[in-house]
């Protein structure tokens, strides 16, 4: 018996990076996986899980579109009868100082990284309320907590995700729904592909552990918050950052 035996987990952004590591780990722990992503690369993750004896489906979805997210949750219930866990990991990066950030670029990032998390929470909670049970983990960031040069819309969105998480947590605390955030430091995923070697080194040096994290290390924190082992934990922002925010 795994730590998530027979639980149904919807994972947005499950086609790559942190979301993919969560999908793999949760499947090994016995969960049925619904991967929502706007990229078809999620099909490979589903094939891999099914090939190793797990259960998984892919629902194409743009988390910034309300109708997509509504349909995602309906298809998850149609596939596996319920939704026990939501991991909201879909997101994009943007490096741009405020005076050079166009309103369109700002809006695009906010739509995906903040509104997408709101919509995913909203429609997962609608199902979770029926069973008075559920666990949500929103992927925020250290950059929702501390400043960094040239991070504008991304910082605003992640700050929003961190505090949205607290408010949603206290709203549904008596209804069996726990809502927490994981705030990773820099993690080796395709999200960072635009960084030059020099930019990578600057970021590595900011972590007291002297390295970036691995997606699997973030997935372990998500597993704790999604499982019954964290049954008295809600509204928390859990930093998985090699000491970055402890300084």
Ligand X SMILES: NC(=O)c1ccc[n+]([C@@H]2O[C@H](COP(=O)([O-])OP(=O)(O)OC[C@H]3O[C@@H](n4cnc5c(N)ncnc54)[C@H](O)[C@@H]3O)[C@@H](O)[C@H]2O)c1
Could you give the residue numbers annotated as active site?
154
* Least distance in angstroms from the C-beta of 86 to ligand X: 13
Q: Is 92 in the site for ligand X (CB under 6 A)?
A: yes
Instruction: For CA atoms 175, 132, 79, 51, give the dihedral sign.
Output: positive
* Least distance in angstroms from the C-beta of 187 to ligand X: 4
Q: Is 217 in the site for ligand X (CB under 6 A)?
A: no
Contact criterion met (CB below 8 Å) for 162 and 140: yes
Give the contacts of 231 (CB within 8 A, at least 6 positions apart).
178
Give 169 or 219: the residue with its C-beta nearer to ligand X.
219
* Least distance in angstroms from the C-beta of 30 to ligand X: 23
Give 129 or 204: the residue with its C-beta nearer to ligand X.
204
Contact criterion met (CB below 8 Å) for 244 and 142: yes
Q: Is 15 in the site for ligand X (CB under 6 A)?
A: yes
Query: Which residue has the CB atom at the shortest distance from ligand X?
Result: 17
Alpha helix (H) ranges present in 111-246? 116-131, 153-171, 197-205, 215-226
Contact criterion met (CB below 8 Å) for 151 and 143: yes
Within 51-80, the residues that bind ligand X by CB under 6 A are 61-64
Within 20-49, the residues that bind ligand X by CB under 6 A are 37-39
Give 8 or 69: the residue with its C-beta nearer to ligand X.
69
Give 108 or 129: the residue with its C-beta nearer to ligand X.
108
Q: Which of 4, 18, 31, 83 binds ligand X (CB under 6 A)?
A: 18
* Least distance in angstroms from the C-beta of 60 to ligand X: 9
Give 129 or 188: the residue with its C-beta nearer to ligand X.
188
Within 188-207, the residues that bind ligand X by CB under 6 A are 189-192
Contact criterion met (CB below 8 Å) for 243 and 209: yes
Q: What are the CB-based long-range contacts (under 8 Å, 24+) for 93-102?
A: 93/154, 93/191, 93/192, 93/194, 94/151, 94/152, 94/153, 94/154, 95/150, 95/151, 95/154, 95/194, 96/150, 96/152, 96/153, 97/149, 97/150, 97/152, 98/152, 101/152, 101/153
* Least distance in angstroms from the C-beta of 231 to ligand X: 25
Binding interface with ligand X (CB under 6 A): 12-13, 15-19, 37-39, 61-64, 89-92, 112, 116, 139, 141, 184, 186-187, 189-192
């Amino acid at each position: 018996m795994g730590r998530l035996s027979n639980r149904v987990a919807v994972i947005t952004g499950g086609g790559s990076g942190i979301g993919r590591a969560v999908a793999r780990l949760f499947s090994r722990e016995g969960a049925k996986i619904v991967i929502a992503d706007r990229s078809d690369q999620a099909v490979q993750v589903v094939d891999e899980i099914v090939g190793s004896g797990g259960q998984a489906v892919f629902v194409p979805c743009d988390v910034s579109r309300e109708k997509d997210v509504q349909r995602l949750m309906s298809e998850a219930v149609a596939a596996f009868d319920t939704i026990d866990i939501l991991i909201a990991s879909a997101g994009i990066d943007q490096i741009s100082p405020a005076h050079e950030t166009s309103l369109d670029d700002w809006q695009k990032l906010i739509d995906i990284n903040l509104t997408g998390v709101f919509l995913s929470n909203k429609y997962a909670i609608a199902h979770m309320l029926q069973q008075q049970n559920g666990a949500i983990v929103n992927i925020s960031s250290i950059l929702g907590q501390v400043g960094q040069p040239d991070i504008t819309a991304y910082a605003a969105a992640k700050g929003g995700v961190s505090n949205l998480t607290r408010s949603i947590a206290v709203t549904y605390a008596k209804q069996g729904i726990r809502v927490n955030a994981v705030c990773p430091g820099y993690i080796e995923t395709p999200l960072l592909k635009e960084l030059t070697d020099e930019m990578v080194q600057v970021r590595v040096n900011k972590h007291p552990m002297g390295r970036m994290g691995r997606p699997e290390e973030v997935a372990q924190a998500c597993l704790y918050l999604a499982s019954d082992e964290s049954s008295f934990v809600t509204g928390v922002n859990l930093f998985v950052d090699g000491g970055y925010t402890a300084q």
